Chains A and B, each alone.
Chain A
Amino acid sequence: MSIKSIYYFSAVFFLSLSFNVTNAEAQYPEKDITVIIPYSAGGGFDSYVRGVLPAMQKYLPNSVNLIPRNMPGAGGRKGATAIYRARPDGYTIGAFNLPGLLLPHLLDERVGYDLSNVTWLGRMSEDRYLMVVSSSKNISNVDDLRALGRPIMFTVTGVHSSAHAATKIVTNVLGLNARFITGYEGSQNYVLAVVRGDGDVALGPSTSVRSYTDTGDLKVIANFSNINSIPDTQNAADLGKPELSELNVQRMLGGPPEMDEEARAILSEALSHALADPQLIAWSVSTGLPLSPLSAKDTEANVANQWALYENYKDIL
């Protein structure tokens, strides 16, 4: 291939990326729909969205495509702002992470979106937190941690991330003398840090710790839900703090405020069909990425609940 043709192809490629003129018409959808993912490709969040989109596409009329577009930056704020400011014609929607995108707004940081105005289409997944320690350590419950008699080292991602907030809230509510080793990139990294022995303990989303608990590198000492799904571990109620079971990581789809009603109905219906699709469920089982669907309406209520929940802990954060 000559340099000229490389240039030609790259120019065409470049143009096709930026070509985004939209035109709302009846009989939605009449062209492909862009789905903005505010995180980089390859992360846990991205995997979910890219897994769900092909299934969702099957249930859209006029055989249009859902085109994922990663727009990472500023902890998801850049992408979320882009979704929020998009034309509300239903041709640009996006994925949201809660509480990741809720926290900066709650903590009065400058953000370009307001989650209470987002047109919610539904929830894809919800992930619970598990407290894990290295299996080689002689720690089997939260009291053992307290008994260390020194600051407990928690490894965690950067400040103002979902995991950081959850770790702060849990340690505060449980009254643990915690010290945070922050700055790990992504949940896989800070969980691995516990395997390595960087810290004593981590509060990781269940999907990130599962592979280490399977091999026996890590053991779960507490799970923050109301059901005791893991034998011999305390849950939030056992710890006397049932309110901690409300902490989670959620991934939802939404669009800009005042999105076209017809588009909203069609998209949220396609999403709920997709989440019940046997093929997607099989994918979810094989990849270990669980799905927990919520309708558009329930998602809206859920966002309000989450806001109220974190508002209670605003002082801690």
Chain B
Amino acid sequence: MDILGIFEALIQVIGTPNHMLLILIAVPVGMFFGAIPGLGGKLGVVLAIPFVFGMDPIAGAIFLISMHSVVHTGGAIPSILFGVPGTGPDAATIVDGLPMTRKGEAGRAIGAALGASGVGGVIGGLFLIAVMPLLRPVVLAFGPAEFFFLALFGIMFIALLSGDSLVKGLTVGLFGLMLAFINLDPQTGAQRYTFDFLFLWDGIDIITAVLGIFALPEMIALGTTGGSIAQVQEKATYGIKGVLKGVHDVFSHWGLTIRTSIIGAFIGMIPGLGGDAASWICYGHAVQSSKNPEQLGKGAVEGVIAPETANNSKEGGSLLPTLFFGVPGSSGMAILLGAFVMLGLQPGPSLALTGMETVWTLIWALMIANIIAVVMFFAIAPCFSYLSYVRGNLLIPFVFILTCLGSYLSHRAWENLIVLILLGVIGHLMKKHHWPRPPFVIGLILGPIMEDSFHKAMALWGPSFVLRPGAITLVALTIISFSIYFWRKVDTNNEIK
């Protein structure tokens, strides 16, 4: 590897005032698009394309990548404060972020999200540089059989996220899986449960589902109980102190931070698995590896750190297949890919021969943007934590509009609003009767990946696909990691007795 070339690219980014200025402009724009539900990085890049068109390709690409890489840093904020995810992958942050806010720890949660996002982005970038020589074999090693088992691994996390009752968790997970079948059959093209509605052909929109299952029930609950989101009498951690505590948490859980950053970057690297999977799998990992797994879901800071590191590191990860194979690693990258083409950069395998300098430049831009996002946001983060003390009935209309806006804008389909309300009712009942909600999202996200890869693998290899080396490795890893979890759980239970 050309070490000198790597650092030359860094100096080129930092030493060019134009590039730094572009990053400084791009970061707040990216965070804004992340923080407003439904806007997201994809739309951000689409809207920015006219501005960068005609710019020097490298400068334009730096602008877009910087903007896109910090979207999830902003997206964590509404997840934590209101339980409304700014972007799809930020949904996993709600599970512990919102309970932290309720406990009066909004500042700490935001600090943790901010720190985790920044560290995740940087570690993701470093990981990329380290694995660059392995990229090709890794991407080529993941075919339909491996996808199937990776998705299955993710789905098994339902068991960990079920809370007290496994039966309830499985039921909810299966419900999510069931809704995942609403679409056109990827193999035959037949309509499944679409009832002739065109908008259901592409399946239930994930953002709408997440907003319906998480955000609406929270608002209903807030409306009926009254008061503010933070349900504490005294102001606990407040302002900058809380934020600092959160940032400190990221570093005191350094093992988790590094692991989830790497897992996130790795999942991002594999095209087709999707960014939504990364944050949930990392959340599952946090539960699995936590010393107090029962605290997760009740406002544990690990539950914020894991998905947030994954969110930012996976963007770095997905940059690689986008650039080297022309195959986007995430939906946001798909748009970035198109934008690169328009700027005159030609992503694809030939880039490794001709454009390594560009690749290094973009990876550095991504890391620098992540650091700048943390610094820039650190100053205003405490203001956001005050919002959790605003009276509920002042907040509800605002959050309700954000929710509807997010649901509509994600596909510009008004029909989504009906789905939103329906799922909102279901989500409310689930919340009221203490059914766990995360398994639903996992089923909905991983179901289609599992189904599609199962069909492909069966068509290619028949049932013997389970005996492929990659598949066996993944099955073994799944069994080992779950055995460790249950063994530890039994161990702790014995200790308690």
Query: Measured between C-beta atoms, what is the minimum distance from B192 to chain A in Å?
Result: 13
- Is residue B201 within 8 Å, beta carbon to beta carbon, of the partner chain? yes
The contact of B198 among A1, A40, A74, by CB within 8 Å, is A74
Interface stretch of the complex, out of A43-51, A92-100, A301-309: A43-51
The stretch among B14-22, B236-244, B339-347, B420-428 that forms the contact with chain A is: B339-347
Does any Cβ of A come within 8 Å of B130's Cβ?
no
Stretch in contact with the other chain, from B95-103, B323-331, B485-493:
B323-331
Answer whether residue B251 sits at the interface, using C-beta atoms and an 8 A cutoff: no
Among B35, B328, B348, the residue within 8 A (CB) of A212 is: B348
How far, in angstroms, from A179 to B460 measured CA to CA in the complex? 9
Residues on the B chain within 8 Å of A77, using CB: 198
Could you tell me the distance between the alpha carbons of A134 and B81 in the complex, rounded to whole angstroms? 51
B67 CB to nearest chain A CB (Å): 14
Residues of chain A within 8 A of B350, CB atoms compared: 211, 214-215
By the criterion CB–CB under 8 Å, are B198 and A10 in contact?
A: no
Chain B, interface size category, equals 35 or more
Do A41 and B346 have beta carbons less than 8 Å apart? no
Q: Which residues of B contact A197 (CB under 8 A)?
A: 140, 143
Interface size on A, residues (CB 8 A): 61
**Do A159 and B189 have beta carbons less than 8 Å apart?**
yes
Q: A211–B346 contact, CB under 8 A?
A: yes
Residues of B within 8 A of A6 (CB): 32, 35-36
Given the interface pairs A159-B189, A211-B349, A214-B350, the reply to whether A286 lies near B344 with Cβ below 8 Å is yes
Q: Does A188 contact B (CB under 8 A)?
A: yes
Which of B36, B53, B339, B347 is A54 in contact with, Cβ under 8 Å? B53
For the complex formed, measure the closest distance between the CB of B397 and the CB atoms of chain A, giving whole angstroms: 10
Contact A10 B405 (CB under 8 A): yes
State A195–B321 Cα separation when bound (angstroms).
14
B interface majority secondary structure: helix
Query: Which residue of B140, B187, B338, B460 is within 8 Å of A159 (Cβ)?
Result: B187
Identify which of residues 310-326 in chain B touch chain A, using a CB-to-CB cut-off of 8 Å: 325-326
B348 and A78 contacting across the interface, CB-CB below 8 Å: no
- Which A1-51 residues sit within 8 Å CB-CB of chain B? 1-3, 6-7, 10-11, 13-14, 17, 40-44, 46-47, 50-51
Is the beta-carbon distance between A192 and B271 smaller than 8 angstroms? yes
Q: Is the CB of B143 within 8 A of A14?
A: no
**Cα of A10 to Cα of B86 in the assembled complex, Å:** 13
Return the contact of A289 from the options B341, B398, B402 (Cβ within 8 A).
B341
Q: Mark contacts of A47-76 with chain B using CB atoms, 8 A cut-off: 1 yes-contact digit, 0 otherwise.
A: 100110010000000000000001111110
Any A CB within 8 A of the CB of B336: yes
CA distance A7 to B411 in the complex (A): 20
User: What are 8 A-B contacts defined by CB distance under 8 Å?
Assistant: A3-B384, A17-B412, A40-B334, A42-B42, A47-B341, A71-B412, A75-B201, A78-B199
- Given A44-B338, A181-B459, 18 extra CB contacts under 8 A: A13-B39, A41-B42, A41-B334, A42-B42, A46-B338, A50-B49, A50-B53, A51-B342, A70-B46, A73-B198, A73-B199, A73-B201, A158-B186, A159-B185, A160-B189, A196-B139, A214-B349, A286-B346
Task: Give me the interface of A with B, judged by CB distance under 8 Å.
Answer: 1-3, 6-7, 10-11, 13-14, 17, 40-44, 46-47, 50-51, 54, 70-75, 77-78, 81, 110, 153, 158-160, 179-185, 188-189, 192-193, 195-199, 210-212, 214-215, 217, 283, 286-289
